[in-house]
A and B are shown apart, each in its own frame.
Chain A
Amino acid sequence: MATIAIDESLNISEEVADFMLFLLNENRVQLPKLSIPKILLVKTRPGLSAEILAASITSRFPEANIPNGPLFGGTPNSMEIFVKIISEEIVDAIQNEMRVDVVTDPGATISAAGGNAGGPVVVVGATVAPHTGIGIAR
């Protein structure tokens, strides 16, 4: 051991790592909130398909220098089969096991019309509590 030691307060290699990991997390691009019309357009989406997903992934194999199609001598391409299995299982889990819980912020505008003996009653206001809902991933 060196006769003259480095001051303990200068041994901060772990803190440096933690700080830089924090920077890495903080600098991630935050997804913007979607507008209501954009969310409503989701109705036109076809939904998840394991086959389309597997095809999309295998079509990008060349980017990772992985061959497409049957291998030399006609051997089936195990990677393609593997990707297909993974895609099927993931899509199956999303479609059949995933749960979507929804909560709406309070403050949603409400308007209602009705009537009583005194005549028609029109109510305009806002929800005061958050509301929950459920959804299904397809």
Chain B
Amino acid sequence: MAIDVPINIPLTDAQAELTAKIGSMKSLLALPSIRKRNIPKANQISTYDYIMKILNVMGLTPEVIFNAFLTKVFDQAGTFLEDKVLDAIGDSIGQQGIQLSPYINNPTATNKTKKEYKSNNKAYIHGLYPNPNFLQTVKQKLAKDLVVMIFGPKQVTSTSLNTNQTQVNFLINNAVCAEGLFSLSNDPVIRNNDIEYNRIKLKQQLEKGEVVYEISCQEVKIKLPEDPGFLFTGGGTFTSPSSYVSPAQALIETVQYVNNQVQRINNETNANKGGKKFYQILIDKLLSFISVMVQPYLPSVFTVINASLSPSQQINQSNFVFDNCAIVNDPDNEIKKEFATSLFNALLKDLLKLLLLFTIKRFKRLVANYFAKTAIEKQKRKLEKSKLKFQIFSKISDNADKIEKYQAALKTLATVLGAL
């Protein structure tokens, strides 16, 4: 068989350039083209989660904002919570097609009309209550009830935060029903039977007074001390006994207590993370439980509203304000949900407002620092280069010829080369 020796045929520069360019063009065409992802609003990350993500990448923690939020909600001198509750009542009445003034009862009202009724009701109720203070004296009690709903136990003792067994039963049952009812974050995919399982487990834990929370990928069992009263009356590690503790401070102290519990079973780094994570759980729980917590104090509000209505127009709290268990047992009933939905969203709006303002402020500072720092670095590099030039050519003019410049540059080596 004849030997077939392949001939080496080199390409010219132009030929090689063309084949290389075609190759690279083909490769670039094969790259995936930019696709703008159009994610529906409902499937996008929740605003709360996204702000948390931004704060996290900026290396900031939201504790200071959570403190501010708790202080606002449990402010014993302010009417922030009261205003939101009155708005929620107005919304709930409007959702049933009722306008208080001028009185209209239109159960078949469209959503648009209901929206008008809600707006009018809110304004009317606020008119009846120019300085709403029906919760001012019970803020401490509300904070205690929140702690009971988070930690249990069901069995009341003389040192319990709430010594009324009926009230505690109501609170614990509603804390269990709140499982899967609200979420600040994007909804996790949980099957109904899993929610039921979670509720049963939570009920067992709350009744026992030993609640398990997943903090930093670790299950932590939290149990309040036998006499948790010091959280609200001073004492313990952080406050002196019998000192005045505001409701918000007491809740912040509770977070610190959880932090210590986590630290007891973990190393310090994780303990801090645990405390921070629990703060988010606390805020989440507060928004989930608040509609139930305020219910015992609403009859006085309905009395004031009814005083301005004729006997045939009287409204009853039990038809407008429903607890978490009533909502869970009839999840498609928009009327039952309205009060809780309105209150939850109103408080969430304020929380987001605080978080967003904080994030924007810190982001602006970060951006300003970033550009200032990069500008300084750039300037420094420029200066170093100019300095080098200046050291060599300072004594000669800008339009000096090449020989003059060469001589000037050479002079810098004179210490070694000597005079040339």
Contact = CB atoms under 8 A, between A and B. Distances in A.
Nearest to A20: B363
Given A16-B47, A29-B371, A29-B375, A6 B41 contact: no
A12 interface: yes
Interface in A1-46: 1-8, 10-14, 16-17, 19-20, 23-24, 27-29, 41, 44
A16 B184 CA distance: 16
A1 B189 CA distance: 7
Contact of B46 (A11, A19, A44): A11
Contacts, number: 76
Contacts of B45: 13
Contacts of A19: 360
A13 B185 CA distance: 12
Contacts of A28: 371
Interface residues of B, number: 38
A23 B363 contact: yes
Interface in A69-128: none
A8 B341 CA distance: 12
A9 to B, nearest CB: 8
Contact of B337 (A4, A8, A24): A4
Interface string B373-413: 00100000000000000000000001100000000000000
A1 B183 CA distance: 9
Looking at chain B's contact residues, is the secondary structure mostly helix, strand, loop, or mixed?
Answer: helix
Contacts of A2: 180-183, 187
Contacts of B372: 29
A4 B181 CA distance: 6
Contacts of B375: 29
A3 B47 contact: no
Interface residues of A, number: 24
B344 A4 contact: yes
Given A4-B327, A4-B344, A14 B367 contact: no
Contacts of B46: 6, 11, 13
A68 B341 CA distance: 63
Contacts of B50: 13, 16-17
B209 to A, nearest CB: 27
Given A3-B180, A44-B398, A11 B47 contact: yes
Given A10-B47, A27-B368, A16 B356 contact: yes
A81 to B, nearest CB: 16
A28 B340 CA distance: 44
A16 B187 CA distance: 20
A29 B370 CA distance: 10
A1 B352 CA distance: 21
A74 B74 CA distance: 71
B348 interface: yes
B367 A27 contact: yes
B23 interface: no
B345 interface: yes
B264 interface: no
Contact of B44 (A7, A11, A23, A27): A11
Contacts of B367: 23-24, 27
Interface in B181-198: 181-184, 187
Nearest to A13: B50
A49 to B, nearest CB: 14
B349 interface: yes
Contacts of A12: 47
A23 B364 contact: yes
Contacts of A13: 44-47, 49-50
Interface in A32-70: 41, 44
Given A4-B182, A11-B46, 9 more contacts: A2-B180, A4-B337, A4-B341, A5-B341, A6-B183, A11-B44, A13-B50, A16-B356, A20-B54
